[in-house]
Homo-oligomer: A and B are copies of this chain.
Amino acid sequence: MDKNISKLAADNIRILSAAMVEKAKSGHPGGAMGGADFMHVLFSEYLNYDPADRTWFNRDRFFLDPGHMSPMLYAGLALTGTYSMEELANFRQWGSPTPGHPEVDFARGVENTSGPLGQGHVMAVGAAIAERFLAARFGEWMSHNIYTFISDGGIQEEISQGAGRIAGHLGLGNLVMFYDSNDIQLSTVTDDVTIEDTAKKYEAWGWATMTIDGNDHDQIRKALDAASAETEKPFLIIGKTIMGKGAVTANGDSFEKQVSTHGQPLSAAGASFADTLKNLGADVENPFQVFAEVEALYNEANNKKAAYVADKKAEQAEWAKANPELAAKLAQFISGETNIDYAAIEQKAGAATRGASSTVLGVFAEQVENMIVMSADLANSDKTDGFLKKTTVFKKGDFSGAFLQIGVAELTMGAIANGMALHGGVIPVCGTFFVFSDYMKPTARMAALMQLPVKYVWTHDAFRVGEDGPTHQPIEQEAQIRLLEKLKNHHGDNGMLVVRPADVNETTVAWKMAMENTKTPTALILSRQNIPNLPESDYNKALQAEKGAYIVEKDADTPDVVLLASGSEVGTLVEGAKLLREQKGLKVNVVSVISEGLFRNQDKAYQAEVLPADVPRFGMTAGLPVTLEGLVGLNGTVWGLDHFGYSAPYTVLDEKFGFTGENVLKQVTEMLG
């Protein structure tokens, strides 16, 4: 490699990054200029991809963690051929494929959406696990590396602890992380916030580490070679880099290592944009260019990669010929499709819905060979152990099982699930208590934004958790997570499917809905306590839940009152309906609303059938009333809980809080006046 051309290529990334931010009048140039050297060496010399098809399944992955360094990513990818100069020039503009923070776009080499610091590199850990899972089943011929790039902010984010621990514990030798350590963060120098010995910290987690001059290309190569050679441990390259490398003022003084270049155009920071570009060898009038030598370098690099990929594809073709069944299975894994006979799943009547979920997961353990289930140290409570009992946990060097013990690290679990889904070929499921969905929200939002089919098993779903008390009783969480049902993704679909089944058969159907929803994340909200089966409950009746809401008990097309709820409260309404009929002679329909968001997607006629326009409605929710107020509207009232719960057996709380058939009788009678 010609040293001068190599430097020129990195300078090209610096020039483009600085120019993009300058033109957009917003963005983050300094870090991008410091990290450019690593990006160039990685992209041109190490990262395996198919120049003709960036979605090639066995490509190396590159996960950017600090999304604000998007100029560096776009500029680097532009050198590889996936962005035009015009697209770079339209950085951060309406309709441009170069948004302020990267949004997943496999075809262009953007493997993940990033922005909230810390999540990106944890997605890389998830991808690295998926890679090992698949290689364990199909062979090392398909192995590839997972690279990720993290900044000081990501190192500080709480979530990096979970990733560091899990990657070290599992000995992910396929994971290489470059830590762009420039001693500067957005608002200050790192000395103001940390004295951490980062290498020591990662070594405590079982990583191999190497500290280098992150702007020195030969040192970068040496580190990447060492990382490739390390197969037993994840590898951390701590690259000491220079923030704003190449930046100068109008009189030519260095303007490197300045906090001010972190988050604004160079000119706004106090540097001279024009002189910096000159200093880097750019055409100041027309900076959106690739140097001819650099273009040639990348053409050659892409040719090499194409040859490598051709060999790998030939190897795969031979393998497929020799192993047609495995090849078919791999294709099916990648398709994300499953084929389960849900009707055949036998449920125990009256079980808790977490138990019913466990039954389904037990079937999946045998029939969905590409499912990976995780739990944040609650497998025996969230009942993901229904899956675990039929498989084994991931261990260092052994990914033959399909269960990941994450430990107590809910947010990490969410991001790892996202990374698995981004990698593809596997179906990630994560379980914990519903109240801890609070911890997972940032990753659930990213799953919704990236449209990833991650499944959440959130159990212990309401104050009916009982004795554990208010810290463990979700009250506002159902309303909260259903906000992601209301929030449309960029394809116009509900951002998430949220289902809260009312009995064991609805739980089977809920899982069917989750598995068939390959376009967005799905949350299953499940009970701790046992729930009696709904009247005449069976799988076929419960299938109506696929419309989001349906009539469980129907007295009339136009009854005196409609009672509606989700989850265990439907059963309470059934009790109340019985009393209303017996004692008041009323005609009562009972409706189960497993997902308001889905119900609102149905045609108006169906909605009107379930909730006739002029019939009074009574809603019941063991959470905040707002959860049902949208459906009940001014046609009635909602009996909910507007306060934190208390510690006591749930049957006591039911009495205290009025979640009984008797109280339904009382409240509905009062409502109807």
Contacts and interface: CB of A to CB of B under 8 A. Distances in A.
B195 A643 contact: no
Classify chain A's interface size: 35 or more
Contact of A483 (B154, B198, B435, B479): B479
Interface in A613-662: 624-626, 629-630, 633-634, 642-644, 646-649, 652-653, 656
Contact of A158 (B412, B479, B480): B412
Contacts of A113: 471
Contact of A204 (B201, B405, B407): B201
A473 to B, nearest CB: 10
A115 B377 contact: no
Contacts of A379: 187-188
A445 interface: yes
Contact of A472 (B100, B185, B385, B652): B100
Interface in A331-360: none
A135 to B, nearest CB: 22
A389 interface: no
Interface in A182-208: 185-188, 190, 192-198, 200-201, 203-206
A67 B471 CA distance: 9
A434 to B, nearest CB: 13
Copies in the complex: 2
Interface stretch (A37-45, A311-319, A462-470, A604-612): A462-470
A411 interface: yes
A217 interface: no
Nearest to A467: B92
Contact of A193 (B95, B99, B405, B646): B405
Contacts of A101: 468-472, 647
A158 B162 contact: yes
Interface stretch (A8-16, A422-430, A486-494, A497-505): A486-494
A165 B642 contact: no
Given A100-B469, A442-B439, A472-B100, A169 B156 contact: no
Contact of A471 (B114, B196, B653): B114
A469 B196 contact: no
Contact of A643 (B166, B441, B490): B490
Contacts of A472: 100-101, 115
Contacts of A438: 441-442, 445
Contacts of A495: 644
A196 B204 CA distance: 5
A103 B469 contact: yes
Nearest to A652: B94
Interface string A155-172: 011111110011011000
A157 to B, nearest CB: 5
A381 interface: yes
Given A153-B377, A158-B162, A100 B468 contact: yes
A116 B469 CA distance: 11
Contacts of A115: 468-469, 471-472
A196 B156 CA distance: 18
B196 A165 contact: yes
A23 to B, nearest CB: 12
A479 B624 CA distance: 13
A195 B233 CA distance: 12
Nearest to A388: B187
A621 to B, nearest CB: 12
A294 interface: no
A32 to B, nearest CB: 15
A408 interface: yes
A506 interface: no
6 contacts: A92-B469, A100-B467, A116-B471, A187-B379, A190-B407, A193-B407
Interface of A: 24, 26-27, 67, 92-96, 99-101, 103, 113-118, 152-154, 156-162, 165-166, 168-169, 185-188, 190, 192-198, 200-201, 203-206, 263, 375, 377-381, 385, 393, 405-409, 411-412, 435-436, 438-439, 441-442, 445-446, 448-449, 466-472, 475-476, 479-480, 483-484, 486-490, 492, 495, 624-626, 629-630, 633-634, 642-644, 646-649, 652-653, 656
Q: Give 8 closest A-B pairs by Cβ, nearest first.
A: A115-B471, A99-B647, A158-B158, A193-B407, A161-B161, A94-B648, A153-B408, A200-B204
